Amino acid sequence: MFLKKITNLKNIGRFRNASVKGGEYARLTVFYAGNGHGKTTLCALMRSLQRNDPNHVLERKTLDSADTPDVQLLLDQGPARFTNGAWSATSPDVHIFDGHFVFENVHTGTDVDTEQRRNFYRVVIGPQGVALAKDLDAIDAAAAKTQSDLTAQRKLIDQHVPKGMTLDQFLTLTDVPDIDKQLTDLQARRKAAVDATAIATRVVPTAAKLPKLPERLDNILAATLDTLSVDASERVKHQIESHAMDQHGERWLAYGLAHITDDVCPFCAQSVRGSDLVTAYRGFFSDAYKDHNQAIADARSTLDAEFGEPARLKLAEAVRSMTREAEHWKAYVTLQLDLPNDVASLEAISGDLYRAVSRRLDAKKAAPLEPVAPDAAHDAALAAWNNLEKELQPALDHWTTVIVPSINGVKSVAAGADRLAIEREIARLEATKVRYSSGTATLVADHDKLAAEKSKLATERDAKKKALDAYDTKILKNYETAINRYLSMFGAGFKLVGAKKNYVGKAPQSIYGLQFGAATLDIAVKPTPGAPSFRTTMSAGDKSTLALAFFLAQLDHDTDLARKLVIFDDPFTSLDDYRREVTASTVVRVAARCAQVIVFSHDKHFLKTVKDRTHTVALDTFQISVSSNNSSIEPWDLDREAKEGYLQDHMRLQEFAQGLSTDAAAMRTLMRPLLEKYIRYRFPNQIPDGKWLGDMLAIIRSDPAHPLTAALAELEDINSYTAPFHHDPNAPFNPHEVTTFVKRTLDIVGGC
């Protein structure tokens, strides 16, 4: 196959409506394009043509275009157009080395996974091996179909499998003749076990606590003026009676006494200094009186806490709970608990007592020094409560001392029941009954047939594998030899060993090791954390070299290579200068053996190297240029572009040094790149890609025998002087100093 020309590119990737210029392509045609300009898109286009797979094109449709891709190629056998999602003609006679080939057949960049080993295996075995492998694939397809049917059948059966049992356990259950009788016996034993579990987990409430009336309640209610201060009491009583103040007199006097200021009466504004009556008032309202009032308030708080509505409701609920529990536990232990059946009467009696005592405390609070005697309602409520207390307290004590220990004894005994063993045996028998029911038995029979078919196919597959192994052993060894020849040519520090095939994961795959000196890394072994792996052992350059060696070995084993188109997309990515040189030579040799070679690259110097090594094969050069929203193809002057950068920079510095230009600001940032290019071109095998002037100086500094050691001091001075301007182009500068350092730079690089 020979690609004469790409004649039309619309709505694919960056090629919105590409302008395609230039004549037909030569046997060796190189395309220069920066990253993101469309190289990968063109490789995907050719892969779609090779495989007749429109998805490779459709997946790269221009994002913001409503139209579908429209592509036209002029091949040696005629035009091939992609329109309306399909090719008018295709050709399998294409080999493509690009990121897709590497990812599909060699490695992911970090690992070599199973699918890549399977794909590479298919590449290695070639047409004859593919034919042999197709038989194996057919068996695999039948096995996959059988497995799919078997999986579906297992899902149907799985609907009948009880919880806690696996499908395989269900399938292997054996029939039980007297299964119904065994189930009846076990279910009777389970009832006792179930009851035992309820006994063990049931919480037993503590006994209800009866409320108590406030301490010294009778003394507090009976307290009078006499109990506090007899003399003060008489004077106060006389004053209250003579002024007819009745029950409010004490509060009125207490209030007024608290507001005497500077011995002046707050009521009449007369002086009370020396007044016996005021002295009596003060004696009356002494600390004892305050303590008495506090005792009344405390009694009230205690009464509310013990007999208030929340407390009465809590007491009633506690009694109800004890009654319920007593009824429940009577099934397991003999109980005698005399509690009132009518909780409402308990609430009524405690409520009556609360209200009776509340009335007396309210009266006492209104007249703290007046005795409050019990009334008939109070006596009746207290008597009723005392009777209830006599009835309840022994029952509550009996609950705590007798009943609760008895219940705990029942719980302790019940805890020893082996319920789980009983449940497991019942579950097994119930599952067995389902397993041998008519409907399920039919499903299992069909399942067993599919399982037998799967086993038969596995046997056939093993036989086919043996037939293929003899062929594979020879071809894989040949590939190993070819790959290692290229690895040696590229100067790789490793080689491929132990190339063979296995069937892990059913489909055949190639496996191999990478040998570094005496150590071998098995790429089929899953790496463990902290251990060397493909990702950590192989540099980016090594991975690129390995992939390229795989591809070149494939070309070597293609007996029909003379009629094939071979495409390289950046074949030297991450390679050092030496490997790049060898890659260029290898590309030229491939071009001499096949119908046509097309090279895409973002490195004009690599393409220049390819051109310089081309002597017997016609070569054309093109570039993919980019505008704001479109990529186009046009002729390209490789010779001019490859040397333009270094020569122009050198010329600009030389003109400035000679006074022919005055742009000192631009010269500040031109010296360092010129020195980097000079060192890189002068020592192509010593400076790895990605190293800049600071890195280069470190390499020179570490090697006393380096040819540039004599110029190291000058290089370091220039590096130090120019560094600030690369970080901040607006940094201030002295034009005279710039001129001096430009001349020192030209002294190092000399003429161009």
Please say if the pLDDT value at position 507 is more than 50.
yes
Residues found in the chain: 752
Cβ contact 102:92 at 8 Å: no
Distance CA 648, CA 663 (A): 15
Distance CA 708, CA 685 (A): 15
* Closest C-alpha to 524, from 504, 548, 546, 549: 504
Which of 183-187, 514-518, 585-589, 678-682 is predicted most confidently?
585-589
Average pLDDT, the chain: 83
Tally Cβ neighbours within 10 Å of residue 310. Answer: 9
* Closest C-alpha to 56, from 67, 68, 46: 46
pLDDT of residue 205: 84
Cα Rg for the chain, rounded, in angstroms? Answer: 52
Its sign, for the CA torsion 725, 727, 729, 730, is negative
Cβ contact 90:81 at 8 Å: no
Please say if the pLDDT value at position 429 is more than 70.
yes
In this prediction, residues 370-388 reach a mean pLDDT of: 91
* Closest C-alpha to 168, from 506, 453, 435: 435
Q: pLDDT tens digit string along 147-172? A: 999 999 999 999 999 888 899 999 99
Q: CA triplet 28, 33, 37: central angle to 5 degrees?
A: 130
Fold entry, domain 1-93+562-636: Rossmann fold (3.40.50)
DSSP 399-457: IIIIIHHHHHHHHHHHTT--HHHHHHHHHHHHHHHHHTSHHHHHHHHHHHHHHHHHHHH
pLDDT of residue 272: 59
pLDDT of residue 522: 81
Which of 40-54, 215-229, 387-401, 660-674 is predicted most confidently?
40-54
pLDDT of residue 44: 94
**Domain residue extents for the chain:** 1-93+562-636, 229-285, 642-749
Distance CA 213, CA 206 (A): 22
Query: Structure tokens of 282?
Result: 């003060």
pTM of the model: 0.48
Cα-Cα-Cα-Cα torsion 663, 664, 666, 669, nearest 10 degrees, comes to 160
Range in 179-183, 234-238, 275-279, 337-341 with the lowest mean pLDDT: 275-279
pLDDT of residue 577: 64
3-class state of residue 534 by DSSP: helix
Cβ contact 228:285 at 8 Å: no
pLDDT of residue 231: 46
Query: Structure tokens of 106?
Result: 């060699």
Distance CA 156, CA 93 (A): 48
Q: Who has greater pLDDT, 42 or 679? A: 42
Q: What phi and psi, each to the nearest 5 degrees, are found at residue 11?
A: 60, 40
Confidence of residue 100 (pLDDT cuts 50, 70, 90): confident
- Position 629: which residue type? N
pLDDT of residue 190: 66
pLDDT of residue 123: 66
The set of residues, in sequence order, having a beta carbon less than 8 Å from that of 279 and lying 6+ positions away, is none
- Is 597 exposed, middle or buried, given 0-12, 13-18 or 19+ CB atoms closer than 10 A? buried
Range in 207-211, 414-418, 494-498, 725-729 with the lowest mean pLDDT: 414-418
Q: pLDDT tens digit string along 14-28? A: 899 999 999 999 999
pLDDT of residue 192: 46
Its sign, for the CA torsion 361, 362, 367, 373, is negative
* Closest C-alpha to 156, from 444, 357, 374, 390: 444
Return the H-helix or E-strand segment holding 127.
Answer: helix 114-158
For tokens 């987990």, the residue is: 201
In this prediction, residues 70-99 reach a mean pLDDT of: 94
Range in 101-115, 511-525, 577-591, 738-752 with the lowest mean pLDDT: 101-115
Q: pLDDT tens digit string along 396-424? A: 899 899 988 888 877 775 676 677 887 88
Cβ contact 30:621 at 8 Å: yes
DSSP 455-470: HHHHHHHHHHHHHHHH
Confidence of residue 283 (pLDDT cuts 50, 70, 90): low
pLDDT of residue 752: 39
Distances (CA, A) of 231 to 174, 222, 250, 265, 368: 105, 19, 15, 22, 17
Q: pLDDT tens digit string along 430-472? A: 889 999 998 898 999 999 999 999 999 999 888 887 877 777 7
Please say if the pLDDT value at position 639 is more than 50.
yes
Please say if the pLDDT value at position 134 is more than 90.
no
567: left (phi over 0), alpha (psi -120 to 50) or beta: beta
Query: Structure tokens of 205?
Result: 């409430």
Name the percent of the chain lying above pLDDT 90: 34
Cβ contact 6:38 at 8 Å: no
Please say if the pLDDT value at position 135 is more than 70.
yes
Confidence of residue 230 (pLDDT cuts 50, 70, 90): very low
Return the H-helix or E-strand segment holding 501.
Answer: strand 495-502
The set of residues, in sequence order, having a beta carbon less than 8 Å from that of 507 and lying 6+ positions away, is 118, 137, 140
Distance CA 719, CA 742 (A): 12
Name the percent of the chain lying above pLDDT 70: 83
Q: pLDDT tens digit string along 667-724? A: 998 999 888 888 877 776 677 666 788 888 998 899 888 888 989 999 999 999 999 9
Tally Cβ neighbours within 10 Å of residue 182. Answer: 15
Q: Please, where are the H alpha helices in 202-226?
A: 217-222
Confidence of residue 70 (pLDDT cuts 50, 70, 90): very high
Q: Who has greater pLDDT, 140 or 89? A: 89
